[in-house]
Chain A
C-alpha cells in the first residue's frame, strides 16, 4: 500500500486565488512528520513546510499552510494568493519513527501534483 497518496496529478489555479493540494498518508506509527516540497521547472527541491504528528496547531509559513486532519490522515497544502512563480511540482512526504532517530525511518514521497497558475 502506498504510504503517501497525492490524487491530483495536475491542477490549475487562477492567479491571486487560493489552492489546496491534497495529500493522504498511511502509517500506524504515532510519531511522524509530514513535509511539503516544491520543485520548479529548474529542478531543485525546495522545502516548504513541516507538520509533526503531535503538533496541536496547523503549520504555516507565509502563504503556505498545512491543513492537518489527523483522524483522516490528511495533510493538505494550502497556498493563498497564488502567484505565477508558484507553478511547479509539489511533493508531499512523510517520515515515520521520529522517536527513534534518523536511521529508523526515511523520507517517503508521494508522486506529486503539478500546479499551473494562470494569469
Chain B
C-alpha cells in the first residue's frame, strides 16, 4: 500500500463545533491534498500543500483551514462545522505533483 492513512474514518459532529481531520503519509511525498466528494459533484479540491508550511486554497476552501507542520501530516480543520460540510473527505499525496495522486481511504463526516 501507498502508506497514506486518514483518521478518523467516520465522524458525526454537531453544527458549530470544530472538527479536525488528519492525513498521515509514510512516503515522504512533497505534495498533499484535501478533496471533498459529494453526489453529483465528483471530487473538489479544498486545500493543498506543496511543502512543510506551504499551503494554498483550492476550489472550495471557504470554511476550511489546513496546516502542515511536518512532511508526513496534513490536517484539515472545520472551524465551525455546518450541515453543508457533510461529505466524504479524501486526502491524496503526490511525489512531484505531476503524476497521478494516491488517495487515502476517505473520512465520512456527518454534521447534524
Contact = CB atoms under 8 A, between A and B. Distances in A.
Interface residue tally on A, bucketed by range = 20 to 34
Contact of A101 (B33, B35, B92, B98): B98
Contacts of B62: none
Contact of A43 (B56, B88, B92, B97): B88
B106 to A, nearest CB: 5
A49 to B, nearest CB: 9
A45 B97 CA distance: 17
A110 B102 CA distance: 17
Contacts of A47: 100-102
A109 B58 contact: no
B106 A98 contact: no
A95 B98 contact: yes
Contacts of B35: 109
Contacts of B106: 43-44
Q: Is the interface of B mostly helix, strand, loop or mixed?
A: strand
B90 A102 contact: no
A109 B44 contact: yes
Contact of A91 (B42, B94, B97): B42
Interface string A73-112: 0000000000000000001010100100111001111111
Interface in B16-38: 30-31, 33, 35
A50 interface: yes
Contacts of B44: 109
B74 interface: no
Residue among A43, A45, A112 with the highest chain B CB neighbour number at 10 A? A45
A43 B43 CA distance: 12
Contacts of B33: 106-107
Interface of A: 4, 33, 35, 37, 43-45, 47, 50, 91, 93, 95, 98, 101-103, 106-112
18 contacts: A4-B42, A33-B100, A37-B100, A44-B103, A45-B90, A91-B42, A101-B96, A101-B97, A102-B31, A102-B50, A106-B45, A106-B48, A106-B58, A107-B33, A108-B45, A109-B35, A109-B43, A111-B42
